[in-house]
Each structure stands twice: as structure tokens, then as C-alpha cells.
């Protein structure tokens, strides 16, 4: 074999090795990207749940504020609270 053939063979082998290496790195990067996208989706879902929870707490707070301000309502005093105890025995109802 001539020196040119050996040189070209070495270049082909180096090129093939480079292609294999780059493809492997691309696969690893793609897997990492998919994991990050999955994590992003999880965080988006959690963010949505937190915003829903925040809206729920805000709505309850607004109801209490509206009752106090617009309707002039207040919590009853302890002597005005009546507690009822229900019978657990259903046969008494008959």
C-alpha cells in the first residue's frame, strides 16, 4: 500500500470514529433534553395546582372581607353559639 492509501485509511477511520462519538453525544443530549422537558411539565402542573390553591384561599378571604365590610356581618359571640348533638342511633327516628 502506498503512503497515500494508508493516510486516507487513517482519515476514514478517524472520521468514522468522530461520527460515532458525535452521534453518541447527541443521543445523550437528547435524553437529557427529554428529562428536562418532563421536569418542566411536572413543574408547570405543580404551578397550576399552586395557583388554584392560591385562588381558593384568596376567594375564601374575600368572602370573609365582603361579609364584614359590605354586609356588616361579624362572628357571633360565644354565648350566641348553639351546639346541637345528633343521635347516632337511627332507630330513634322511627
pLDDT tens per residue across all 94 residues of the chain: 799 999 999 999 999 999 999 999 999 999 999 999 999 999 999 999 999 998 887 777 777 787 888 888 888 888 888 888 887 765 555 5
pTM of the model: 0.52
* Rounded (10°) CA dihedral 75, 76, 82, 84: -10
Percent of the chain whose predicted confidence (pLDDT) is above 90: 54
Domain that holds residue 62: 3-93
Please state the domain count of the chain: 1
Give the span between the Cα atoms of 36 and 30, in whole angstroms: 10
Amino acid at each position: 500500500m502506498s503512503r497515500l492509501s494508508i493516510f486516507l485509511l487513517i482519515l476514514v477511520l478517524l472520521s468514522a470514529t468522530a461520527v460515532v462519538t458525535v452521534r453518541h453525544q447527541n443521543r445523550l443530549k437528547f435524553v437529557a433534553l427529554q428529562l428536562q422537558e418532563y421536569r418542566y411539565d411536572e413543574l408547570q402542573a405543580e404551578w397550576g395546582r399552586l395557583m388554584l390553591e392560591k385562588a381558593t384561599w384568596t376567594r375564601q378571604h374575600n368572602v370573609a372581607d365582603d361579609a364584614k365590610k359590605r354586609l356588616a356581618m361579624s362572628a357571633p359571640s360565644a354565648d350566641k353559639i348553639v351546639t346541637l348533638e345528633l343521635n347516632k342511633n337511627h332507630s330513634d327516628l322511627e
